[in-house]
């Protein structure tokens, strides 16, 4: 197995979209530039959705225009429909992402349609992306539990993943949206999925509501997966899931990977500085345990 782990930084999109305090365009741009300078190679920089539903993402086009792009970094955008894709194309996003769910109830609450209807909606978007030579990544929510349906069967996750890959998505990011999954459950699900898919086709997206995210990621690592989503300073949450806290913190993930002798190409000190800066801009606490533990030593070195 490869000793390099690819981290998809979702803080500027999935993290910020659920933050209550508004953040300026300049602070968003500074955050993305700091993440690029820290060594992240894939940053989800924004989303092109209705500003009525997600006000924090209303200025994504301006953010894409103002960031300092690194040639080795992918700057992607979430695009729920063809209109969103066209906006991402105009903004010169390097990749786009779509999102579905393994739960029918969550799909209805989140995007007001069934899973089957959501898959149909994605077809013209993916066709347009292929014509424009842009890769499409997919998210599947609620892989280990749903706030409305409870437990989710592996067969449901497998079916949706299969459909998304068949449409032309190069990778499916499996999301424990409300953070209820345990390492044992993670191992059971991934063992089933790896009978159907290659490790290169799957990524993991864990929320840390019950403090299980790092342990779940380690289980996935042992099963051979090498792509993980995370959010700087543990920003984020899920507006449709009561009590769901933020994504696993990128700082905590990098610390764990370094401790396992795996490579990320990321400078942890610069990453921690980026996290503290955005938390200051948001007037909120940093949810990364590693960032809070290492902050004094970083200040001494500075």
Reported as a single tens digit per residue, the pLDDT across 244-289 is 678 999 999 999 999 999 999 999 999 999 999 999 999 999 999 9
275 or 243, which is more confident: 275
Catalytic residue check, 238? yes
Separation of alpha carbons 43 and 77, rounded Å: 9
In this predicted structure, the answer to whether residue 72 has a pLDDT above a threshold of 70 is yes
The whole-number pLDDT of residue 58 equals 93
Reported as a single tens digit per residue, the pLDDT across 184-224 is 999 999 999 999 999 999 999 999 999 999 999 999 999 99
Look at residues 291, 175, 297, 177 and name the one whose alpha carbon lies nearest to residue 233.
291
The whole-number pLDDT of residue 239 equals 60
As a whole number, mean pLDDT of residues 33-44 equals 98
The whole-number pLDDT of residue 246 equals 80
**What's the domain count of the chain?**
1
Domain range holding 135?
6-301
Separation of alpha carbons 177 and 7, rounded Å: 18
Active-site annotation holder among 142, 146, 169, 238: 238
As a whole number, mean pLDDT of residues 22-51 equals 96
Tokens of 166: 């068949």
pLDDT bin (cut points 50, 70, 90) of residue 300 is very low
The whole-number pLDDT of residue 102 equals 96
As a whole number, mean pLDDT of residues 32-54 equals 95
The pairs formed by 284-287 with CB atoms below 8 angstroms and a separation of 24 or more are 284/19, 284/21, 286/233, 286/234, 287/208, 287/233, 287/234, 287/235, 287/245, 287/246, 287/249
In this predicted structure, the answer to whether residue 298 has a pLDDT above a threshold of 90 is no
Helix axes 268-282, 25-38, angle to 10 degrees: 170
The whole-number pLDDT of residue 172 equals 98
Kindly state whether residue 258 falls inside one of the protein's structural domains: yes
44 with 78: CB under 8 angstroms? yes
66 CB-near residues (< 8 Å, 6+ apart): 25, 26, 29
How many CA atoms are closer than 13 Å to the CA of 130, on its beta-carbon side? 10
Separation of alpha carbons 213 and 220, rounded Å: 11
**139: which strand partners?**
99, 173
Kindly state whether residue 10 falls inside one of the protein's structural domains: yes
| pTM of the predicted model as reported, rounded to 2 decimal places | 0.95
Tokens of 204: 């993991």
CATH code at 147?
A: 3.20.20.70
**Cα radius of gyration rounded to whole Å, the chain:** 18
**DSSP3 helix / strand / coil % (the chain, rounded to 5):** 50, 15, 35
Kindly state whether residue 218 falls inside one of the protein's structural domains: yes
The whole-number pLDDT of residue 118 equals 93
Kindly state whether residue 1 falls inside one of the protein's structural domains: no
* H helix count then E strand count, the chain: 11, 8
Reported as a single tens digit per residue, the pLDDT across 97-135 is 999 999 999 999 878 889 999 999 999 999 999 999 999
| 74-78 and 135-141 beta bridge pairing | unpaired
Separation of alpha carbons 204 and 176, rounded Å: 8
Kindly state whether residue 163 falls inside one of the protein's structural domains: yes
Q: What percent of the chain has pLDDT over 70?
A: 94
The whole-number pLDDT of residue 53 equals 83
């Amino acid at each position: 197995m490869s000793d390099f782990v690819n981290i998809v930084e979702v803080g500027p999109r999935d993290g910020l979209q659920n933050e209550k305090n508004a953040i300026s365009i300049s602070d968003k741009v500074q955050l993305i530039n700091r993440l690029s300078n820290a060594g992240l190679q894939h940053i989800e920089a924004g989303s092109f959705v209705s500003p009525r539903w997600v006000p924090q993402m209303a200025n994504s086009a301006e953010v894409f225009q103002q960031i300092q792009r690194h040639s080795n970094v992918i700057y992607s955008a979430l695009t729920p429909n063809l209109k969103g894709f066209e906006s991402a194309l105009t903004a010169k996003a390097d990749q786009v992402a779509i999102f579905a769910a393994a739960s029918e109830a969550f799909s209805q609450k989140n995007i007001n349609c069934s899973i089957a209807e959501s898959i149909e909606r994605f077809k013209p978007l993916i066709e347009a992306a292929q014509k424009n030579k842009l890769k499409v990544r997919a998210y599947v929510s609620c892989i280990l539990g749903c706030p409305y349906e409870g437990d989710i069967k592996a067969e449901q996750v497998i079916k949706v993943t299969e459909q998304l890959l068949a449409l032309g998505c190069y990778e499916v990011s499996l999301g424990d949206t409300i953070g209820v999954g345990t390492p044992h459950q993670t191992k059971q699900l991934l063992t089933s999925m790896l009978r159907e898919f290659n490790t290169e086709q799957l990524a993991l997206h864990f929320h840390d509501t019950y403090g299980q995210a790092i342990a779940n990621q380690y289980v996935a690592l042992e099963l051979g997966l090498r792509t993980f989503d995370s959010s700087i300073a543990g920003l984020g949450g899920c507006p449709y899931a009561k009590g769901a806290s933020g994504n696993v913190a990128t700082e905590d993930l990098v610390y764990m990977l370094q401790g396992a002798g795996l490579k990320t190409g990321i400078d942890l000190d610069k990453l921690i500085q980026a996290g503290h800066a955005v938390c200051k801009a948001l007037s909120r606490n940093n949810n990364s345990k590693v960032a809070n533990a290492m902050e004094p030593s970083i200040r001494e070195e500075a």
